[in-house]
């Protein structure tokens, strides 16, 4: 298959023990040299699960997948702290006289639901003065990261058998489950860190539908999704085919839209043509990203 024809999304089930970048490099063996591939949200080496890859022209749509809601299954260990906030770091047991009771745990978890201020882990890809925090932390530098506003939609407590608990977390972009485990442990006064982590869903992309890195290339090709899957959360509009040449040339096209945010534009066959912005003053769709026919 010619390189220029390879485009779309591939849902990968990332294994533990490797970085997201290493997972992408391993997936590249399925495709011809020169194929552009990027991922849409870093998973720590300890973490497994959904890693959405964008191939070819779909790499221009990564931001829309990154904005999708994520779901994680996390195993948290209370009664200890880790310098990386997970089991890959240096773990130090805490002195806990009385383990937290379940009702206190449930109340603590409820306090994290909604929009919250969250400080990323020191060992994270967050930047400090233009440098990755984990690079500074590994060099023994003190890392002070500013709190960020994130949204946690829900937290379901699945298992609690001190010091172990399992939770299911549905959250928005930029949420660190390691920070959630750390902050929960501090709120309970006993410390805590992530022992296991699996991302089970990103938007509509489920781990049950993901391809393993152990699969053959034919299986990977069979599971490629159209580039339109990346914009499923955007409002959409279908244009008459006669208007498409103008749009593809970067010209505004008369249309009605209900949102001034990004709009996914489709042709009569249901193929993605462009991502555009609606100019309400002139009642025009103005293209921002234009795609060749699939």
Q: Out of 13, 44, 88, 183, pick the active-site residue.
A: 44
Give how far the C-alpha of residue 152 lies from the chain's centroid of Cα atoms, to the nearest Å: 14
Helices 102-110 and 177-188, packing angle to 10 deg: 130
Taking the CA atoms of residue 142, residue 82, residue 13 and residue 148 in that order, the dihedral angle to the nearest 10 degrees is -50
SS (H, E, C) 131-167: EEHHHHHHCCCCCCCCCEEEEEEEEEEEEEECCEEEE
Residue whose pair of structure tokens reads 């929009």 in the numeric block: 115
d(CA 53, CA 62): 9
Give how far the C-alpha of residue 103 lies from the chain's centroid of Cα atoms, to the nearest Å: 31
Residue whose pair of structure tokens reads 């240096």 in the numeric block: 90
Strand 205-206 with 192-202, pairing: antiparallel
Is 135 considered catalytic here?
Answer: no
Q: Which residues contact 37 (CB under 8 A, 6 or more apart)?
A: 24, 27, 28, 31, 53, 54, 55, 59
Q: Which residues contact 151 (CB under 8 A, 6 or more apart)?
A: 114, 115, 116, 171, 172, 175
- Angle, alpha carbons 35-203-61 (nearest 5°): 35
- The catalytic site residues sit at 44
């Amino acid at each position: 298959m010619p390189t220029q024809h390879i485009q779309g999304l591939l849902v990968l089930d990332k294994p533990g023990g490797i970085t997201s970048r290493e997972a992408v490099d391993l997936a590249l063996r399925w495709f011809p040299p020169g194929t552009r591939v990027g991922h849409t949200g870093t998973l720590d080496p300890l973490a497994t699960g959904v890693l959405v890859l964008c191939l070819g022209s779909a790499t221009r749509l990564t931001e829309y997948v990154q904005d999708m809601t994520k779901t994680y299954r996390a195993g948290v260990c209370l009664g200890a702290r880790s310098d990386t906030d997970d089991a890959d770091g240096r773990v130090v047991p805490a002195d806990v006289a009385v383990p937290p009771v379940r009702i206190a745990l449930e109340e603590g978890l409820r306090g994290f639901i909604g929009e919250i201020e969250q400080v990323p882990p020191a060992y994270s890809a967050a930047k400090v003065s233009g440098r990755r925090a984990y690079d500074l932390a590994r060099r023994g530098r003190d890392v002070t990261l500013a709190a960020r506003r994130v949204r946690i939609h829900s937290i379901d407590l699945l298992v609690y058998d001190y010091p172990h608990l399992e939770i299911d977390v549905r959250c928005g972009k930029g949420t660190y489950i390691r920070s959630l485990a750390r902050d929960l442990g501090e709120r309970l006064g006993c410390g805590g860190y992530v022992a296991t982590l699996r991302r089970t869903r990103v938007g509509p992309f489920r781990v049950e539908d993901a391809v393993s890195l152990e699969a053959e290339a034919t299986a990977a090709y069979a599971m490629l999704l159209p580039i339109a899957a990346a914009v499923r959360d955007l409002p959409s509009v279908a244009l008459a085919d006669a208007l498409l040449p103008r749009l593809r040339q970067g010209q505004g096209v008369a249309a009605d839209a209900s949102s001034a945010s990004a709009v996914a534009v489709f042709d009569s066959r249901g193929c993605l043509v462009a991502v555009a912005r609606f100019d309400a003053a002139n009642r025009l769709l103005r293209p921002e990203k234009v795609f060749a026919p699939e």
